[in-house]
């Protein structure tokens, strides 16, 4: 049982299966000497964020699980593929290196809208930016280093899978891996 002042930093995401995580990790290992990012994401922390919730009392977990269950009630398992890469931020000093996705993106956007709508009923406010689903691989490009490699030209293929669940993750800062699964909600069958 937690005390009333305890807070968890939570987010909702689609998990990535181990073979795809391994393929991403292998590619990232090959890129570390070429790309001067300060922080490479731990292989077990790869995911597709659906909604960031922020600091939350653990007592709200049951409500969040119910909201997620409602959000996936009309979502069927869907084929996803991780491939390619790109960056967010300035071209010469990007904030994020990401793996791209393909599959039923319309369904993925519907899922994200459902999650935001259900969590909105609980008082969670969505981020004020367009939803761009991706898998974060690295963060914080080092100042003073030129991005030498045109990473978009490499077009790595990381694998495919059937996305069939949402996960509520807890962030444990300064841990490796950093994200802990606290609940899993399967899609409708």
CATH number for 84: 3.90.1140.10
Enumerate long-range contacts of 18-21, CB under 8 Å, 24 or more apart: 19/159, 19/161, 20/46, 20/82, 20/158, 20/159, 20/160, 20/161, 21/46
- Strands 8-15 and 47-56 turn out to be antiparallel
pTM of the model: 0.91
In terms of pLDDT, which residue wins out, 4 or 183? Answer: 183
Q: What is the CA radius of gyration of the chain?
A: 17
The pLDDT assigned to 153 comes to 58
- The answer as to whether 172 is a domain residue is yes
Structure tokens at 160: 């495919």
Q: Helix count (H) and strand count (E) of the chain?
A: 3, 9
d(CA 1, CA 164): 30
What domain count does the chain have?
1
Q: pLDDT per residue over 115-133, tens digit each?
A: 999 999 999 999 998 999 9
Structural domain for 113, as ranges:
8-186
By annotation, the residues acting in catalysis are: 47, 134
- The answer as to whether 1 is a domain residue is no
């Amino acid at each position: 049982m937690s005390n009333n002042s305890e807070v968890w930093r939570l987010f909702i995401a689609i998990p990535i299966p181990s073979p795809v995580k391994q393929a991403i990790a292998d590619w990232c290992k090959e890129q570390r000497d070429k790309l001067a990012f300060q922080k490479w994401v731990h292989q077990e922390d790869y995911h597709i964020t659906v909604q960031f919730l922020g600091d939350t009392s653990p007592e709200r977990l049951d409500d969040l699980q119910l909201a997620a269950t409602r959000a996936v009630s009309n979502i069927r398992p869907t084929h996803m593929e991780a491939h390619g890469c790109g960056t967010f931020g300035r071209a010469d000093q990007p904030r994020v290196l990401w793996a791209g996705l393909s599959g039923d993106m319309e369904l993925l956007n519907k899922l994200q809208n459902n999650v935001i709508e259900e969590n909105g009923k609980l008082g969670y406010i969505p981020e004020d930016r367009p939803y761009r689903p991706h898998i974060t691989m690295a963060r914080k490009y080092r100042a003073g280093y030129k991005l030498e490699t045109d990473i978009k030209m490499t077009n790595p293929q990381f694998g495919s899978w059937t996305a069939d669940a949402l996960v509520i993750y807890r962030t444990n800062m300064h841990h490796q891996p950093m994200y802990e699964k606290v609940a899993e909600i399967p899609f409708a069958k």
